[in-house]
């Protein structure tokens, strides 16, 4: 585990991987549940029966009897992969990131064990993180989290093919529901409730600017400068 030091106000790139490389989501309902977790676990309020009390509600609808939502972190970006996920988040409360990641990991592990009749943690230890110390680094991490990782899933050959077929890969990627990329560029509003209007919105104040910077980073391979690999 590698967790770099950070404090309230810090932007952090977080990665959490499945144990032994196993998939952490296996069917459509697991994928959609992950989106709901990003919303419901990102709250000071805790209700261990949240799935029961929100049954039949819309994707991010909170029960009226709950107190007002009080987020632990700001979510700037995310991408869910079959065997891991990436988050670009901001610490807004003391220990907010740690608590959010603990709640997220525990809920996913408990659900997987119950659903698939397994035991133990779904994940490879805790989480890894890197603290972002400049706007330049933030720009590259945004592309890494939201574009590079979705391009890895490009069905015509993954990242190696996507970088040489950027336009087609981009068209495919903005239809992927389980990344903030589509919402960030205004193509899909499904995850807009999850995202804050923070530093990334100031840096990339229009979708074309983000797309062209992403093209430069992907085609040049500069995303490797912020890779966890």
- Residue 202 maps to a domain: yes
| Total tally of structural domains belonging to the chain | 2
- Residue 166 maps to a domain: yes
Same domain, 140 and 210: yes
Same domain, 51 and 34: yes
- Residue 63 maps to a domain: yes
Same domain, 122 and 154: no
Same domain, 26 and 119: yes
List C-alpha distances in Å: 199 to 10, 11, 61, 126. Answer: 11, 9, 26, 27
The pLDDT of residue 74 is 97
Last residue of a domain, one of 129, 164, 189: 129
Same domain, 99 and 66: yes
Global confidence as pTM: 0.95
User: Each residue of 14-73: pLDDT tens digit?
Assistant: 999 999 889 999 999 999 999 999 999 999 999 999 999 999 999 999 999 999 999 999
Half-sphere exposure of 129 (CA within 13 A, CB side): 22
Last residue of a domain, one of 112, 129, 146: 129
- Residue 54 maps to a domain: yes
Report the CATH number at residue 58. 3.30.70.1290
Same domain, 143 and 100: no
- Residue 5 maps to a domain: no
Same domain, 48 and 107: yes
Q: Please state, for a pLDDT cut of 90, what percent of the chain lies above it.
A: 87
Last residue of a domain, one of 107, 129, 151: 129
Contacts with 144 (C-beta within 8 Å, 6 or more apart), sequence order: 13, 86, 217, 223, 226, 227
Same domain, 97 and 147: no
Same domain, 72 and 50: yes
- Residue 1 maps to a domain: no
Q: What whole-number distance in Å separates Cα of residue 49 and Cα of residue 177?
A: 26
The residue range of the domain holding 47 is 11-129
3-state SS string over 26-38?
CCHHHHHHHHHHH
User: Each residue of 103-132: pLDDT tens digit?
Assistant: 999 999 999 999 999 998 899 988 999 999
Q: What whole-number distance in Å separates Cα of residue 32 and Cα of residue 14?
A: 20
The pLDDT of residue 3 is 60
């Amino acid at each position: 585990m590698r967790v770099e030091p950070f404090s309230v106000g810090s932007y952090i790139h977080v990665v959490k991987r499945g144990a032994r490389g196993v998939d952490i989501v296996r069917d459509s309902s697991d994928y959609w549940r992950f989106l709901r977790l990003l919303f419901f676990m990102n709250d000071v309020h805790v209700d261990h029966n949240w799935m029961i009390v929100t049954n039949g509600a819309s994707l991010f609808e909170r029960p009226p009897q709950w107190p007002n939502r009080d987020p632990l972190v700001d979510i700037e970006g995310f991408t869910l992969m079959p065997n891991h996920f990436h988050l670009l988040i901001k610490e807004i409360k003391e220990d907010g990131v740690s608590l959010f990641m603990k709640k997220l990991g525990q809920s996913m592990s408990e659900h997987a064990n119950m659903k698939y009749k397994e035991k133990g943690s779904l994940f490879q230890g805790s989480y890894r993180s890197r603290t972002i110390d400049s706007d330049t680094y933030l720009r590259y991490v945004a592309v890494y989290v939201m574009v590079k990782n979705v391009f890895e899933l490009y069905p015509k050959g993954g990242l190696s093919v996507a970088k040489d077929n950027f336009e087609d890969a981009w068209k495919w990627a903005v239809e992927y529901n389980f990344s903030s990329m589509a919402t960030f560029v205004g193509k899909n509003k499904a995850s807009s409730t999850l995202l804050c209007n923070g530093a990334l919105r100031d840096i990339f104040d229009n979708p074309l600017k983000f797309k062209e910077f992403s093209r430069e980073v992907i085609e040049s391979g500069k995303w490797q400068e912020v890779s966890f690999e």
